[in-house]
């Protein structure tokens, strides 16, 4: 069975050709469908750059990346946007909700870009908001929601296009401990139903919820086979 995510020999530098600043150094990483993996590293380790490459938000200098059997390195910007829309569900630390849209409107937003009609958009968004425990908050605006509720809206939005992978960047970073635990419980339920979850974090407690943790230190991956037991 081919991997859902397969990175091989990825290098990434910033700066100029004369003065490059290496950020990722010979990264190789595979992830199978249905896995729940945490990529853990301190600030400046390269984990955000790695997440942006996996999420098709940034280009790499050398190596190869296949997502769901597709060669990402050969794609143009329009094709990459299509991959992001249909194959990847993003969950960010700061939620990235539109202030002028309700929870329902924010959740349904990716379906607008996908060309889905309004009736179906609302039906699918309502169903997902029910699933994440916000059935009574559908018509609330972000300013009326707690941090944990905003993140649940963001997760519902990430799931609405039935993505192949849920990519979460520091998903509890802006939350208090109780709200953070509720979000981690939600990720666990999603994993148990078969969703593929890749989480980027600097927090060992958050990483411990995943099936497996890989560490990124100074642009290199280590401990690729470490299993979490909880």
- Residue 108, domain CATH: 3.40.50.300
Examine residue 183 and state whether it is found in any structural domain, yes or no. yes
Please write the tens of the pLDDT for every residue from 18-69: 899 999 999 999 999 999 999 999 988 999 999 999 999 999 999 999 999 9
**Average pLDDT taken over every residue of the chain:** 92
- Using a pLDDT cut of 70, give the percent of the chain over it: 96
Q: Is residue 227 part of a domain?
A: no
Q: Is 136 among the domain residues?
A: yes
Within-domain flag for 174: yes
User: Domain residues for 149?
Assistant: 5-222
Per-residue CA distances from 151 to 49, 171, 184, 192, 214 (Å):
22, 8, 11, 20, 24
pLDDT of residue 223: 64
Does a structural domain hold residue 230? no
DSSP 8-state assignment for residue 165: E
150 φ/ψ sector (left φ>0, alpha ψ -120 to 50, else beta): alpha
pLDDT tens digits along 147-174: 999 999 999 999 999 999 999 999 999 8
Query: Which residue bears the tokens 């009609």?
Result: 117
Strands of the sheet with 36-40, listed across from one edge: 88-91, 165-169, 197-201, 36-40, 212-217, 220-222
Read off the pLDDT of each residue in 96-109 and give the average, rounded to a whole number. 96
Residue 230 has pLDDT above 50, yes or no: no
Q: Identify whether the C-beta of residue 114 lies closer than 8 Å to the C-beta of residue 120.
A: no
Cα gap 141→149, rounded to integer Å: 11
User: Is 43 a domain residue?
Assistant: yes
pLDDT band with cut points at 50, 70 and 90 for residue 17: confident
Share of the chain above pLDDT 90, in %: 88
Give the number of other Cβ atoms within 10 Å of residue 32's Cβ: 13
Residue-level pLDDT at 118: 93
Structurally, how many domains does the chain consist of? 1
């Amino acid at each position: 069975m081919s991997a859902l995510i397969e990175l091989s020999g990825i290098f990434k530098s910033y700066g100029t050709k004369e003065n490059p600043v290496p950020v990722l150094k010979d990264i190789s990483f595979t992830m199978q469908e249905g896995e729940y993996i945490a990529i853990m590293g301190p600030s400046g380790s390269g984990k955000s750059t790695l997440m942006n490459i996996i999420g098709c938000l940034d280009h790499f200098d050398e190596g190869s990346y296949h997502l769901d059997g597709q060669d990402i390195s050969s794609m143009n910007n329009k094709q990459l946007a299509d991959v992001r829309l249909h194959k990847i569900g993003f969950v960010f630390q700061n939620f990235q909700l539109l202030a002028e849209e309700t929870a329902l409107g924010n959740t349904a937003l990716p379906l607008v870009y996908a060309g889905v009609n309004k009736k179906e958009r609302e039906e699918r968004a309502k169903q997902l908001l029910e699933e994440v425990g916000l059935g009574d908050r559908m018509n609330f605006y972000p300013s009326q929601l707690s941090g944990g509720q905003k993140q649940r809206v963001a997760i519902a939005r990430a799931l609405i296009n039935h993505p192949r992978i849920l990519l979460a960047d520091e998903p509890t970073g802006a939350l208090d401990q109780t709200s953070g635990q509720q979000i981690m419980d939600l990720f666990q339920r999603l994993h148990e139903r078969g969703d593929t979850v890749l989480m980027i974090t600097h927090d060992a407690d958050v990483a411990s919820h995943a099936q497996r943790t890989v560490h990124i230190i100074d642009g290199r991956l280590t401990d690729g086979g470490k299993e979490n037991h909880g």
